[in-house]
Structure 1
């Protein structure tokens, strides 16, 4: 719209100049004299009729050129501002582009799912733009096209489907390190394995899901110290195999906490009116009972808060006092995984208790800032 106005002003200016080309000059000085003599009255809009008539006669006598110049100047300034704004917007878009370049990412998720939160933490930290599709946890119509019926699912360029949070993170990180590797080739390095668990239920697992598919030189660049890769993999697996199983027993620890948790789930998730009511009250009661079974399955203490506190303090102790993150000066994939899992408790009593009774707070706040500011886009050099 601004560009259109600028072009119009320019055309009007040219027409004034063309129509006044043969008229006498000197109008500009005449106008200045009139404005100088009566400027104070014009400033407040109280000029007499005589002043107005002199100005108008001056314009008729030869003011076309002045007006033409004014319109051309206005049009030029308008066009300049339009081009400037366009360039600024273009530069902003370029700055927001992800290191992965042209990858189009669509994340199918439940917002309160810890595995989905892990993926979002990774995408946010590295500044990768992505679209979210919130899946209805009852009908799951949003993923009816997929034979894999869990979340998260990440679609890449509408062609490559990535399943399992750890596979998604490992494959994307591999691509960020070496953009020459296509996602379709990378995903072949994480083969799907189906088996039947002790309960007779078919489960799907993925080989190599904590590994990055890098050359020896790339591995040294990402993990300059010998034990860094092994440590990262160990704690990523710990987040999946242990930490995530402490969430449900803690957020559904009492009937009151279960109701508060489902109120949050319904508010943040994609539920219809009836589904939301059903989920909030019936779901809360069901999960309160299920959390008791989970407590027995994972051999948790009667006060499950103590297991959460111990796990979180073990994590902080593993980081140590001399590192900001497990990755050093910047988060690594283990930092992002643990942060993603813990983040789903925000706003609930379990989260407040964890922050008050463990040593995790300072690391957690640093992780908040790192993901919010997309610090993985331009990481500072590591200190060793």
Structure 2
């Protein structure tokens, strides 16, 4: 619309300037000279009758060329603003593609939850903007609208609900690679499977949670070397099935560490004044004993730090000396999963001990930079 108007103005301006009236010599210089001679006050009609008469005569004589110039100038400015607007619109569209196709993402989380941290690591690395709703872990009023009572929950455009950290990551990664399908269409590839466990409790599992739903050509582009896809899936599952279970026994290893951990949880979480007080002291005591049970359930050593060190060194050994990340020069989904899980220990004794007594430090620092700089943005 704007471009059409600009072209029309240019055409009209050219026709006017080419008309006989516009070709009369001296009309423009006379008009400009007249305005200059009588000052800006008189050009606005404040002079005497003689001045106004001369001015009107000049306008009649020079109106062709002046109007032509005006139309040409107006058309040029219109065209300039049209091009500028189009360029800005194009850049905005490109930015929308970069930021996840314009998806509005809202993450319901506990900040210190390793599964929530995994999702944040993915979103941060890929530069996807998102809002956070911190859920009160006692009342959970923030997710009372949801039949799914766990976190993380990711809402897409305020309508589509994604549950389970691995499903969230797999479906969004698929969407970023192949935007021909909507997130809701992709989500159908990860159906819920409900069952009852040995304790008689209903549990929900998700099929294909570690798979990306891509075409053969897209899969070859993402995983150019043989075995890359299986390796990524293996270590993503390892992060969920093993590494996560080492966190609680290590951060609640002693009463002092349990208290320090809950002090951090209360500071970073969403607690009321009294809830925070009871969570810090009662929760720390409870988790100290629960950590002992978890140690027994997962057959951990008496010194649970040794299991943490062994797991982390196994991860570093799997990456090897020739790769910066398991994904090569760039992190893959396994890198992001392991980084997200380990990150929840930052600021605690378990994290400091891990960094000092394992070989994970250099990989971890590279992951920090990649996440902070949104290096996965495409």
TM-score w.r.t. length of structure 1: 0.75
**Alpha-carbon spacing, 1:366–1:292, altered in 2? closer, same or farther (3 Å):** same
Residue of structure 2 in register with 1:30 after alignment: none
8 Å Cα contact 1:97/1:128 also seen in 2: no
Residue of structure 1 in register with 2:293 after alignment: 293
Q: Deviations over 1:169-196 (max 9, x none)?
A: 0000000010111111111100101111
Residue of structure 2 in register with 1:281 after alignment: 281
Please give the secondary structure, in 1, of the residue aligned with 2:204: strand
The offset of 1:100, in angstroms, is 2.1
**Alpha-carbon spacing, 1:147–1:317, altered in 2? closer, same or farther (3 Å):** same
- 1:236-275 → structure 2 map (5 Å cutoff): 236-275=236-275
The offset of 1:158, in angstroms, is 1.2
8 Å Cα contact 1:99/1:176 also seen in 2: no
Residue of structure 2 in register with 1:46 after alignment: none
**Alpha-carbon spacing, 1:97–1:257, altered in 2? closer, same or farther (3 Å):** farther
The offset of 1:198, in angstroms, is 1.6
Aligned equivalents of 1:156, 1:98: Cα separation in 2: 16
Q: Does 1:109 align with 2:109?
A: yes
Please give the secondary structure, in 1, of the residue aligned with 2:193: strand
Please give the secondary structure, in 2, of the residue aligned with 1:377: coil
8 Å Cα contact 1:106/1:154 also seen in 2: yes
8 Å Cα contact 1:125/1:377 also seen in 2: yes
Aligned equivalents of 1:98, 1:139: Cα separation in 2: 37
- 1:37-116 → structure 2 map (5 Å cutoff): 95=95, 98-116=98-116
The offset of 1:98, in angstroms, is 3.1
* Structure 1 stretch displaced more, 199-208 or 259-268: 199-208
| Structure 2: gaps (5+ residues) | 1-38, 48-83
8 Å Cα contact 2:99/2:129 also seen in 1: no
Q: Does 1:144 align with 2:144?
A: yes
The offset of 1:102, in angstroms, is 1.2
**Alpha-carbon spacing, 1:169–1:124, altered in 2? closer, same or farther (3 Å):** same
Residue of structure 1 in register with 2:188 after alignment: 188
**Alpha-carbon spacing, 1:94–1:143, altered in 2? closer, same or farther (3 Å):** same
Please give the secondary structure, in 1, of the residue aligned with 2:188: helix
| Structure 1: gaps (5+ residues) | 1-16, 25-83, 379-384
Residue of structure 1 in register with 2:13 after alignment: none
- 1:1-384 → structure 2 map (5 Å cutoff): 18-19=40-41, 21=43, 95=95, 98-378=98-378
The offset of 1:359, in angstroms, is 0.1
Residue of structure 2 in register with 1:80 after alignment: none
The offset of 1:168, in angstroms, is 0.1
Aligned equivalents of 1:269, 1:324: Cα separation in 2: 33
Please give the secondary structure, in 1, of the residue aligned with 2:300: coil
Aligned equivalents of 2:146, 2:111: Cα separation in 1: 19
Q: Could you say what the CA RMSD is over the residues aligned between the two structures, in angstroms?
A: 2.2
Please give the secondary structure, in 2, of the residue aligned with 1:210: coil
Q: Deviations over 1:245-283 (max 9, x none)?
A: 000000000000000000000000000001000100000
8 Å Cα contact 2:115/2:341 also seen in 1: yes
Aligned equivalents of 1:356, 1:328: Cα separation in 2: 25
* Count of residue pairs the alignment pairs up: 302
The offset of 1:361, in angstroms, is 0.1
Aligned equivalents of 1:202, 1:273: Cα separation in 2: 34
8 Å Cα contact 1:100/1:179 also seen in 2: no
8 Å Cα contact 2:249/2:292 also seen in 1: yes
8 Å Cα contact 1:319/1:326 also seen in 2: yes
**Alpha-carbon spacing, 1:92–1:268, altered in 2? closer, same or farther (3 Å):** farther
8 Å Cα contact 2:110/2:269 also seen in 1: yes
**Alpha-carbon spacing, 1:279–1:96, altered in 2? closer, same or farther (3 Å):** farther
Aligned equivalents of 1:291, 1:324: Cα separation in 2: 34
8 Å Cα contact 1:108/1:133 also seen in 2: yes
8 Å Cα contact 2:121/2:371 also seen in 1: yes
Q: Deviations over 1:128-158 (max 9, x none)?
A: 0000000000000100110000000000111
